Amino acid sequence: MAVKRRPLRTKILLHLGLVPFLIFALFPFYHMTLTSLKTDRELYDRAAVPLLIRQGPTIEHYQKLVRDTGFLTWIKNSLVVTLLATTLSVVIGTVAAYALARLRFFGVNSFGTGIFVTYLVPTSLLFLPLAQVVNWLGLADSKWSLVVTYPTFLVPFCTWLLMGYFRTVPKEVEECAMVDGATRVQALLRIVLPLAVPGLVCAALFAFTLSWNEFIYALTFTSSSEEITASVGVTMELVRGDIYFWGGLMAGAVLSSVPIVILYIFFLDYYVSGLTAGALK
C-alpha cells in the first residue's frame, strides 16, 4: 500500500464497504437500548416500527429493575468477584511471568508449557468436576467460589501476556540496579514493574473484562439471588412466566454492560493491543 493520495471516490467506496460490518456489529446494541426505553404499549404493538421510538422514551423499565428485582445485589456481587479475582490473578500472574521471562531454574520450560496449555483449556470442559471441588471446599452457592475459580483462566492469560512485556525490558537495566546493591525482588518492584505498567494495565483490564463476562461457572456454582452475578441474574431471574418482560430484560442487559463499556471507552487501545498480544505473542 504505497502512500499516495487516493481519489475521493475510492475512499468513499471503502467507507461504504464498511457500512454493513458496522451495522452488523452495532445494531444489536442499538436495538437492545431502544427496547429498554420503549413503553410496553409500543413494544408489543405489532403495527409499530421496531427501529424507532414513537411514543416517547420511558425509564420505567430501569426503575422497576432497580426497585423490584435483586439487580443491585447482582451488580455488587459482580463487582466484588471481579475486583478480587482480578487483583489476585494479576499478582500471581506477575510473579509467575517474571520467573518465566527472567529466571533460570529446574522445570521452568515445563512450567511455561503448562501455563500455555492451561490458557487453552475451555471452562466448559471443567465446570462439572469443578462444581464437586467447590462443594468440598464448602463454597457451594457462594460468590466466593467464583473468586477462587476465576483465577484458573485469568492467571494463565495474565502470565502469558506479562511474560511478553517483561521480555521487552532490557536485562541490563535490572543488572545495573543489582550491581548497585538492590536485590532481585527490589529490582523487580522498582525497575521492571514501573517499565511494564502498560502490560500490567492491559492484564488488569482483560482480567476484569473476562471475569465480568464469565457465565458458565457463575451459572453452575451459584444459584440463590443473593449470590449470583449480574449476567446470571439478568439471564435467569428476569425471564418470568409472564411474556411482557422484554423491556426489563433489555434494561438489565444494557445496565450490566455499562462498567465494561466505560472501561472500553477509556482504554480502547489497550484492548486492541491485548487482543493481538494474547494470540500472537
Partner 1 sequence: MAISGVRGGPAAPRSGLRVRELLDHERFLGPAFVTPALLLITLLVAYPFCMAIYFALSNSFIGRPSHFIGLQNFVTLWESDSFRQTFQNAFVFTGAAVAIKLVLGTTLALLLNQQLWFNRLIRGAVLLPWVIPTALSTLGWWWMFNSLYSVVNWSGIALGLMDPPGPNWLGQKYYAMTAVIAVNTWRGLPFFAITILAGLVSIPRELYEAAEADGAGPVARFWHVTLPLLKPVMAIVVLFSTIFTFSDFNIVFVLTNGGPINSTHLFATLTRQIGLESGQIGQGAAISLYLFPVLVFVVWVQLKFVRRQVY
Label residue 158 left, alpha or beta by phi (over 0 means left) and psi (-120 to 50 means alpha).
Answer: alpha
Q: Binding residue for partner 1 (CB under 8 A) from 37, 75, 146, 155?
A: 155
Tell the smallest beta-carbon distance from residue 85 to partner 1 (Å). Answer: 12
Rounded least distance, CB 59 to partner 1, Å: 19
Residues 115-144 that bind partner 1 (CB under 8 A): 115-118, 120-133
- Interface pick for partner 1 out of 7, 8, 9, 21 (rule CB under 8 A): 21
Interface with partner 1 (CB under 8 A), residue from 85, 146, 147, 148:
148
Taking the complex as a whole, the smallest distance from the CB of residue 5 to partner 1 amounts, in Å, to 9
Q: Which of residues 50-79 bind partner 1 (CB under 8 A)?
A: 50-51
Q: Determine if 47 is a binding residue for partner 1 (CB under 8 A).
A: no
Q: How far is the CB of 217 from partner 1 (least distance, A)?
A: 10
Q: Residue 232, interface with partner 1 (CB under 8 A)?
A: yes
**Residue 14 lies near partner 1 (rule: CB under 8 A):** yes
Q: Looking at beta carbons only, is 173 or 239 nearer to partner 1?
A: 239
Query: CA 89 to CA 198: how far, in whole Å?
Result: 16
Cα–Cα distance, 10 to 72 (Å, whole number):
50
Nearest to 158 by CA among 101, 106, 234: 101
Cα separation, 198 vs 48, in Å, equals 49
Task: Please say which residue, 109 or 168, places its beta carbon nearer to partner 1.
Answer: 109
**Residue 262 binds partner 1, judged by CB under 8 A:** no
Nearest approach in angstroms of CB 76 to partner 1 is: 16
DSSP H helices, the chain, are 8-37, 40-43, 60-68, 71-102, 108-120, 123-136, 144-149, 151-168, 171-179, 184-187, 193-195, 197-213, 216-221, 230-232, 246-266, 268-280
Report the chain's C-alpha Rg in angstroms. 24
Using left for φ > 0, alpha for ψ between -120 and 50, and beta otherwise, residue 181 falls in left
Q: Does 241 bind partner 1 (CB under 8 A)?
A: no
3-state secondary structure of 71: helix
Residue 105 touches partner 1, criterion: CB under 8 A: yes
Quick one: which of 37, 43, 90, 228 contacts partner 1 (CB under 8 A)?
A: 43
Q: Which stretch binds partner 1 (CB under 8 A): 54-62, 66-74, 195-203, 259-267?
A: 259-267
Residue 44 corresponds to which cell in the numbers above? Answer: 408489543
Question: Measuring CA to CA, which residue among 247, 268, 269, 265 is closest to residue 257?
Answer: 265
104 binds partner 1 (CB under 8 A): yes
Give the integer Cα–Cα distance in Å for 258 and 264: 10
Per CB under 8 A, does 209 bind partner 1?
Answer: yes
State the number of binding residues for partner 1 (CB under 8 A). Answer: 99
**279 scored as a contact of partner 1 (CB under 8 A):** yes
Number of CB atoms found within 10 A of residue 271's CB: 15
